[in-house]
Amino acid sequence: MQQGNIIIADDDAVLRLDLRTMLEAMGHQVVGEADNGETACGLARSLQADLIILDVMMPKRNGLEAAEIISRERLGPVMLLTAYSDVPMIEQANRAGVLAYLVKPFRQQELQPAIEIVISRYREMLALEGALDSAQEHLQANRLIGRAKRVLMDRYGVSEQEAYRRLQAKSLATTRTLKEIAEAILLTEDISVTTTTTRRSTKL
């Protein structure tokens, strides 16, 4: 069973107390409480909780508005507590980045499985985003290295293999990545082209 630090937000103090009691009985720690969505967002930013549980109907910002902010800023996974289970509300919750919701009134034995699902889904989502970022960065690096190789091939009349060897040698000699070396070569090439163009314009 996953246990973690949890923020709870509900404008009903009695319901917050009941929820805290349930969570602590399951071994979780409630690290922050809020009675409105705005405070919940502030707590999420400062406490880095493992889970944020939000009621839908709250003052200042409702649970859906707070969930959208928390999800957009990747402050933690959000679970929604609601008295409504109609399709429009569920669609709103999905758009706001809510990973699970419980319909009031709920029992303690329903709470833990929902928490497990939310935390697992959030970790999977972050892992996928990390893999996507890594793949995009790798693709961008390959494009820069390819452009830098062409610059070296044109500048020194060498083969693609020799151009790549020179990039690798420079990388090893300076302990900089191939991407950084490629960026430096492309920068000097841009400066050279700009200078040449300026000189030609001046002569004209």
DSSP string, 2-57: ---EEEEE-S-HHHHHHHHHHHHHTT-EEEEEESSHHHHHHHHHHH--SEEEEESS
Long-range contacts of 123-130 (CB under 8 A, 24+ apart): 126/74
Q: How would you write the pLDDT of the chain (204 residues) with one tens digit per residue?
A: 567 899 999 999 999 999 999 999 999 999 999 999 999 999 999 998 999 999 988 988 888 899 889 988 889 899 988 877 666 777 777 777 788 878 888 888 888 888 888 888 888 877 877 777 677 788 888 888 899 999 999 989 999 888 888 888 888 888 888 888 888 888 887 666 555 555 555 454
Helices 108-156, 178-203: axis angle to 10 degrees equals: 50
Burial classification of residue 78, based on how many CB atoms lie within 10 Å of its CB (0-12 exposed, 13-18 middle, 19 or more buried): buried
Residue in the block written with tokens 């707590």: 43
Residue 18 near residue 111 (C-beta atoms within 8 A): no
Q: Which residues of 110-144 are buried (b: 16+ CB within 10 A; e: fewer)?
A: ebbebbeebbeebeeeeeeeeeeeeeeeeeebeeb
Instruction: Map out the domains of the chain with their CATH numbers.
Output: 5-106 (3.40.50.2300), 131-203 (1.10.10.10)
- Summarize pLDDT for 114-143 with one digit per residue, the tens: 888 888 888 887 787 777 767 778 888 888
Neighbours of 44 (CB within 10 A): 25
Q: How many residues does the chain have?
A: 204
pTM, full prediction: 0.64
